[in-house]
């Protein structure tokens, strides 16, 4: 599963009236009595009315790639590389000034279809435990059904384009009934979100029949929650349109706001959810080298950055127009809007000389989104996926709880507090680019019986350990055996052709194939780098590699995959296990960013 949010930026201009529905008018200034455990007593009132909720929720932050992470359809909060969520992390988020945490949740095979769609109790307990982390810091919390609606997820069932809609609706109602029952006595700080980025996985105009299914889901959600009683009769409920896309929600594409006749609040308690990653070539695309945005990007160009780094659309005026649509169609009609996700990935490696300006530009973009949203009464919730490296959205280290992007955090918080889109206009960040006279590439390998050499940065067997220059295999007693093989690494001093290899071992004696073969490095990956003419040599047989995967690893260093049975996107390779050696020869271009 990719760590990157997949979202198509659409530049449509049609604006049509939507069907709007609330649950009556009135004022909600009554007081609420909170229980000792953080849940409110069921006195039928909440303290924060629709006109105050945006101010109360303030700046938001996503606990992304955690409770919605999964492996093979089994939810696991560590499946996508993040550590277990702790109270300390949530406390750090609160201390930074965020007032709302969105907790995406996947259920997938934690739902027992054969037992009335019962949710695994331990998993629901864990969701509640994380909610309690947030309550202990007096934060607003949003929980949803997240990854179950992806066509690309193993076990995804909640699909607008699914064949058996009766089954989907029945299961969806049963799942929300259980969630609603579990949390019905929690007070107004807990918000339920019906779904996430629900669509048919095609980035074209919505299919009307599928959109009708989405509208039906939202109505089932509202009716099911309200019917569960207690504080759920007047809780804020959050619903999206097609793929949380602004144009497909505000425009005349079929979105219908659900009715809420059973709400007891005396005023509207439905909210609209949208996401904002426009322009996508700046915000999330790793292959398009757009790393500057808006007025701050133009400042970097004036200072000498390449103008090719600036995107061709989606600047401040476009964002202003998109958010104005949300205000006119919803906020002005007392329907709060939450931007449930927004952000832009770390592209500071795109240009070593301007890495500081690129990071400052990120702070400006995120501050502009947050500030403009707040100025219109819209609630912005930043997307953090926990990845603090090239192309990551992370702003906190989830192990140490330190801020990894303090300039982004402070700009967002200030922008929302002051309702100021220009909060990041004067932000400066020092360049972190480092150059050396010599950097290195290393061959990595894993056979099907786990004879291996791990990557340069691997904590257990990497360069900082005694095992890095050992081709390891295991004894029957799980002791490390040195196979006696030797590694040849490459000292890279400039653009050119290099080779890395492992030799002196008969790989064919214990394996018929590789699990992994790759090149790791000790230098940063820059999008301007190119690795070409890759040739794998098995003993004396040469095999050209047509499409190696060239990317940044978790630490941001250059990494090249040749074989990886765990990566289904990588083309299979036809080879025979050698009796002596693997050698990889390659050309590298664009090393000027890392070399003196």
Residues catalogued as catalytic: 197, 341
382: enclosing H helix or E strand: strand 379-382
580 by Cβ neighbours in 10 Å (0-12 / 13-18 / 19+) ranks as: middle
The answer to whether the CB of 405 falls within 8 A of the CB of 394 is yes
Burial of residue 152 (CB within 10 Å: 0-12, 13-18, 19+) is exposed
| Whole-number Å distance between alpha carbons of 471 and 478 | 15
Reduce the DSSP state of residue 58 to 3 states and report it. coil
Angstrom distance (rounded) from CA 188 to CA 433? 46
- Residue among 328, 323, 377 at smallest CA distance from 54: 377
Respond yes or no on whether the N-terminal peptide bond of residue 453 is cis (omega within 30° of 0). no
194 in Cβ contact with 255 (< 8 Å) = no
CA end-to-end span of the chain: 37
d(CA 556, CA 61): 23
Total length of the chain: 596
Three-state SS string over 324-363 comes to HHHHHHCHHHCCCEEEEEECCCCCHHHCHHHHHHHHHHHH
**CA–CA separation, 291 and 162 (whole Å):** 38
Q: Specify the pairing of strand 100-103 against strand 60-62.
A: parallel
DSSP 209-264: HHHHHHHHHHHHHHHHHHHT-GGGGT--EEEE-GGG-HHHHHSSSS-BPPP-TT--
Both tokens of residue 314? 């989606």
CB 140 within 8 A of CB 99: yes
Report the DSSP beta bridge partners of residue 537: 542, 583
> Within 13 Å of residue 529, how many CA atoms lie on the same side as its CB?
27
Provide the 8-state DSSP code for 34: B
Take residue 489 and report the two structure tokens written for it: 């690494």
Confirm if 551 and 387 have CB atoms less than 8 A apart: no
């Amino acid at each position: 599963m990719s760590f990157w949010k997949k979202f198509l930026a659409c530049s449509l201009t049609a604006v049509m009236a939507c069907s709007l529905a609330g649950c009556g008018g009135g004022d909600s200034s009554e007081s609420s009595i909170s229980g000792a455990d953080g849940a409110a007593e069921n006195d039928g009132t909440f303290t924060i009315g629709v006109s105050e909720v945006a101010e109360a929720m303030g700046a938001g932050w996503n606990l992304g790639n955690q409770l919605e992470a999964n492996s093979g359809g089994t939810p696991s909060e560590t499946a996508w590389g993040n550590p277990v969520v702790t109270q300390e992390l949530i406390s750090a988020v609160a201390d930074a000034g965020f007032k709302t945490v969105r907790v995406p949740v996947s259920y997938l095979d934690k739902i027992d279809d054969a037992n009335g769609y019962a949710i695994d109790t331990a998993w629901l307990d864990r969701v509640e435990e994380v909610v309690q982390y947030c309550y202990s810091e007096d934060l607003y919390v949003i929980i949803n059904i997240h990854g179950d609606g992806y066509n690309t997820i193993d076990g995804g069932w909640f699909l607008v384009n699914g064949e058996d809609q009766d089954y989907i609706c029945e299961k969806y109602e049963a799942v929300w009934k259980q969630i609603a029952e579990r949390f019905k006595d929690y007070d107004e700080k807990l918000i339920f979100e019906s779904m996430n980025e629900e669509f048919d996985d095609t980035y074209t105009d919505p299919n009307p029949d599928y959109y009708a299914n989405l509208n039906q889901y939202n109505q089932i959600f509202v009716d099911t929650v309200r019917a569960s009683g207690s504080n759920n009769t007047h809780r804020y409920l959050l619903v999206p349109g097609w793929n949380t896309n602004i144009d497909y929600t505000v425009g005349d594409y079929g979105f219908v706001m659900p009715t809420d006749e059973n709400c007891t609040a005396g005023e509207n308690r439905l909210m609209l959810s949208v996401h904002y990653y426009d322009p996508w070539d700046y915000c999330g695309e790793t292959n398009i080298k757009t790393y500057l945005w808006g007025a701050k990007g133009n400042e970097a160009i004036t200072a000498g950055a390449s103008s090719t780094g600036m995107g061709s659309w989606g600047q401040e005026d476009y964002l202003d127009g998109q958010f104005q649509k949300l205000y006119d169609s919803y906020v002005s009609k007392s329907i709060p809007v939450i931007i449930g996700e927004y952000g832009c990935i770390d592209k500071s490696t795109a240009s070593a000389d301007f890495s500081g300006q690129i990071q400052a530009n990120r702070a400006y973009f995120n501050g502009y989104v947050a500030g403009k949203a707040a100025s219109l009464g819209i609630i912005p919730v930043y997307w953090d996926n926990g990845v603090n490296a090239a192309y990551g959205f992370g702003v906190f280290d989830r192990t140490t709880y330190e801020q990894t992007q303090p300039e982004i955090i402070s700009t967002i918080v200030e922008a929302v507090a002051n309702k100021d889109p220009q909060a990041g206009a004067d932000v400066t960040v020092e360049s972190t680019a480092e150059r050396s006279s010599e950097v290195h590439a290393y061959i990595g390998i894993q056979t099907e019986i786990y004879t291996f050499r791990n990557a340069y940065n691997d904590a257990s067997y990497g360069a900082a350990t005694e095992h890095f220059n050992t081709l390891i295999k295991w004894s029957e007693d799980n002791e490390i055996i040195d196979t006696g093989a030797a590694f040849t690494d490459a000292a890279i001093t400039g653009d050119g052709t290099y080779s890395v290899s492992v030799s002196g071992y008969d790989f064919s004696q214990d394996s018929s194939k590789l699990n992994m073969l790759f090149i790791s490095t000790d230098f940063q990956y820059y999008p301007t780098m190119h690795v070409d003419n890759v040739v794998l040599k098995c003993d004396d047989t040469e095999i050209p590699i047509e499409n190696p995967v060239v990317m940044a690893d978790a630490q941001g260093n250059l990494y090249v995959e040749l074989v990886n049975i765990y990566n289904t996107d990588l083309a299979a390779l036809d080879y025979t296990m050698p009796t002596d050696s693997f050698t990889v020869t390659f050309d590298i271009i664009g090393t000027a960013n890392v070399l003196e």
